[in-house]
Amino acid sequence: MTREEVFEGLHEVFWDVFDDEDIQIRDETTANDIEDWDSLEHINLVVAVEKKFNIKFNMGEVNNMKNVGEMADIILKRV
Amino acid sequence: MLKELLYPFDAGYILAGKRRIRKRLLEDAAGYTEKRIAILGGSTTHDIKLIMELFLLNQGIRPSFYESEYNQYYQDAVFPCQELEAFRPDIIYICTSNRNITRYPAMCDDADSIARMIEQEKQRFYTVWDSLRATYGCPVIQNNFEMPFYRLLGNKDASDIHGKINFLTRLNMEFYDYAERHDDFYICDINYISADYGLREWSDPFYYHMYKYALNVNAIPYLAFNVANIIKSVFGKNKKGFVLDLDNTLWGGVVGDDGVDNIVLGPEEPEGQVYSEFQRYVKEHKQIGVILNINSKNDYENAISGIKHPDSEFSPDDFVEIKANWNTKDRNFSDIADELNLLPESLVFVDDNPAERHIVSEQLPGVCAPEIGAVQNYIHVIDRSGFFEVTALSKDDMNRNEMYRENARRAQLQASFSDYNEYLLSLEMKGIIKNFEPVYMARIAQLTNKSNQFNLTTRRYTQPEIERLAADDAYITLYGKLIDKFGDNGVVSVVIGHETDGECRIDLWIMSCRVLKRDMESAMLDILVKRCKERGIRRIRGYYYPTAKNNMVRDFYAVQGFNKISETEGNTEWILDITGEYENKNHVIEVED
C-alpha cells in the first residue's frame, strides 16, 4: 500500500467520523485543525482507522501520534 | 426507521457513521416521543449516549440527555444535584461495571468478612437506587456486573468465596433481589451481553486505560442497543405479535408440494429438530403476551394440515389469525393488523424469503422483517432483536393470545346478528369501573404507555406517577375492566381527570382497541359523570390533541355529547355541562362501580 492510498483511506474515515466531506487532511493536520476532533472523538477516529485498515494501534502509538502524518506512517508499517 | 439499526447491525458502521445516521433519522422529525434520560456513569459514557440516541430515535423516541461527570454516579444520586433536579429525568440509567467495585476479597478473608464486604457493596448501590427513587420517582435502569477478565483461582474462581467471579455473582444476586422487590427498577444484563459479545474482547483493558471506557468501544453499540430496548419497552413501544410464514419458516419444505408427510419437522433428522426448536421458541412467546398469526401462501387446508403435523408444537388454536391463501403477503399482513385492531408496525414479520420480507417492509413502513438467515439462526436473530423486551409482566400478558382469540369468536357471533345492539346484549357484558386500585397500578401504567389510537391526549405515565395521582384527592381516577361471556378482557380503559375551578378537566382518556364498539367508553363516561356529580362538579372539560395515530378519536367528545369550545392547529377543547339531569349512555354493559 502506498502513502497516497493510506491517505485516501484516511480521508474516507475522517469524512465519515466527522460527517464533513470538505475535510482535507495533510501530514501536519492535528486535532486543532478539525473542530469536532476532541479527546472523546479521538477514540472513535482510532477505532474507525483500525477497522478500515484492519490493524491495531498499541497504547504508546495512540498516545504519541502528533499528527495525521505519523498516523499514516504507523499504518504503512503495519499493512 | 433505518434498517441499519436493526439487529443484526454492523457495529463499526454505526460507530464511524453516527453523525450521518443521526442526521438521517432527524430528517423525519415528526412523531417522536420526547424523553429526558439521565445517564449516571461509573466510567466514560460519551459514546454510549450518542449511540443510544440513534437506537432510540429509530424506536420513535427523541431523547435529551443529562450525563454525569466522569464516575460521578454515586455523588449525583446520593447528594443534592441541582442540575439533575432541573433536568427532571423521565428515566435514569446507571452505567457501572466491575471497574466500580471498591474492594474484592483477599485470600486471608474469612467467610464472615466476605459477607460483610458484599453487604457494603450492596448497600452502596441500594443507597443510590433508594435515593433516586425518592428524589425523582422515575424508572431506574442499572447494569449488573460483567465477569472479570482474569481468574486468579482459575476455575475455582467461580466456586470459592475468595474468587472474584464468586463475589460478583453473589453481588449480582443482590441486585436481582432488589429488582424483584421494586417495580420500575430494571437490570441491564451486561453479564449476558458481554458473554454474548465475547468477554475477552468486551473487557479489553486498552479501552479502560486509554479512555476510561469500561468496555471495548467496538462493543458500545451492543450495550446501547440493549439499554434502548429496555427504555422503549418501559415507554410502551414493544412489538405485540408475530406474523409468521409457514413453509421453510415453521417447517422445512413446502407442504403443498411435498405433502404433509414429507415436510421436515420433528426428531427424526437434524434439520427437523432445528425447526421443532424454533417452533417451541415461538410458542413460548404466548406466555409473555405475544400474539401469534400466520401469513402463508398456501391453500388453507394444506396450511392447517402442516400445523397439525404429528410433530408440530402447535395446534391451529395457538394462532389468532391464520391467513393461508394466495394474496400478496403485505395485503394479508395489513388485513391481520386490521382484524386485530393493531397498527401494522406493532407486528413482526417472520419469513425465510427475503423477497417477501422486502415487499412487506416496503409496503408497510415501520414493520420489522428481521433478516433471520438460515434456520439455525432464526432464534438468535429474533431473540437479540429485543422486539418483546419484558419490563413488566401482567396477568393479562399471559392470557393475551386467548383474549384475541375470544375477539375472533365475538366477530363470528356478530356476523350472526343483524341488529348490532342485540349482538352487544348477547355478549352479556359486565363492567367494573372503579377508582385506581393497587393491584392494577402496573397494568394502568402499561396501558397509558401502550395506547396510541384510542388516546385523546397521549400523555404517558410511569407507575409511581399513577400511584401518586391515585392518592391525590384533587384527582378522579377510573379504570375499567370488561368481562363478557367469552372471557375477561382485563383492564381496558383508563380515565384521569382533576378538579379545578368547579370543573373536571380530563387529563387522559384511553381505551384498548380490542374493546372498540362495545359501548365501554359510554360506560366510562357515565361513571365519570357520577363521580363528578358526587363532588358537586358542574362541568367536564375534555381535550383532544392529534398525533399520527389517534385520528379515530378526533370526534370522540362530539359523539359523547360534548360541545366544542375551541380549536387551534387541530387541538380541540370540549365542554359537557352536567348541572341538569344526566341520562346514562350505556345500556348494554352491566356496571359495578
pLDDT tens digits for range B421-448: 888 898 899 999 999 999 899 889 989 9
pLDDT of residue B55: 97
How far CA B207 is from CA of A57, B128, B233, B280, in Å, comes to 12, 26, 30, 40
Residues of A in contact with B210 (CB under 8 A): 43, 59, 62-63
CA distance B477 to B436: 6
According to DSSP, the residues that pair with B476 across neighbouring strands are: B497
pTM across the whole model = 0.80
Q: Which residue has the cell 395521582?
A: B469
CA distance B155 to B158: 6
Interface test with B, best of A20, A46, A51, A61 (most B CBs within 10 A): A51
CA distance B527 to B434: 8
CA distance B238 to B220: 22
ipTM confidence score: 0.89
Q: Quick one: closest CA in B to A41, which residue?
A: B47
A47 touches chain B (CB under 8 A): yes
B27 touches chain A (CB under 8 A): no
Contact A19 B47 (CB under 8 A): no
According to DSSP, the residues that pair with B61 across neighbouring strands are: B33
Q: What is the pLDDT of residues B554-580, one digit of tens each?
A: 999 999 999 999 999 999 999 999 999
**Cell numbers placing B260:** 404433509
Q: Tell me how close the Cα of B9 comes to any Cα of chain A, in angstroms.
A: 15
Class of domain B427-592: alpha beta
SS3 B349: strand
Residue A64, pLDDT > 90, answer: no
Q: What is the CATH number of the domain that holds A65?
A: 1.10.1200.10
Helix (H) or strand (E) holding A72: helix A68-78
Q: Which amino acid is present at B41?
A: G
Residues of B in contact with A47 (CB under 8 A): 12, 15-16, 217-218
B47 touches chain A (CB under 8 A): yes
Instruction: Name the domain count of chain A.
Output: 1
Q: Which residue has the cell 355478549?
A: B427
**Cell numbers placing B506:** 380530563
Averaged pLDDT for residues B335-350: 93
B37 touches chain A (CB under 8 A): no
A70 touches chain B (CB under 8 A): no
Q: What is the pLDDT of residues B55-109, one digit of tens each?
A: 999 999 999 999 999 999 999 999 999 999 999 999 999 999 999 999 999 999 9
Domain residues for A42?
A: 3-78
Greater model confidence, B83 or B31: B83
Q: What is the pLDDT of residues B112-161, one digit of tens each?
A: 999 999 999 999 999 999 999 999 999 999 999 999 999 999 999 999 99
* Mean per-residue pLDDT over chain A, rounded: 92
Averaged pLDDT for residues B16-44: 91
CA distance B389 to B230: 6
Q: Quick one: closest CA in B to A61, which residue?
A: B210
**Pairing mode of beta strands B571-577, B563-568:** antiparallel
CATH architecture of residue range(s) B3-234? 3-Layer(aba) Sandwich (3.40)
Q: Quick one: closest CA in B to A60, which residue?
A: B210
Residues of B in contact with A16 (CB under 8 A): 16-17, 20
Contact A59 B206 (CB under 8 A): yes
A16 touches chain B (CB under 8 A): yes
Residues of A in contact with B12 (CB under 8 A): 47-48, 51
Averaged pLDDT for residues B183-210: 96
Torsion of CA A18, A20, A21, A23, to 10 degrees: -70
* Mean per-residue pLDDT over chain B, rounded: 94
Q: Give alpha helix (H) positions in B17-155.
A: 18-27, 46-58, 73-78, 82-87, 111-136
Class of domain B241-385: alpha beta
Interface test with B, best of A13, A15, A19 (most B CBs within 10 A): A19
pLDDT of residue B29: 67
Does B241-385 match B3-234 at the fold level?
yes
Q: Worst-scoring range by mean pLDDT, B208-212, B312-316, B405-409?
A: B405-409
A51 touches chain B (CB under 8 A): yes
In chain B, where the domains are located? 3-234, 241-385, 427-592
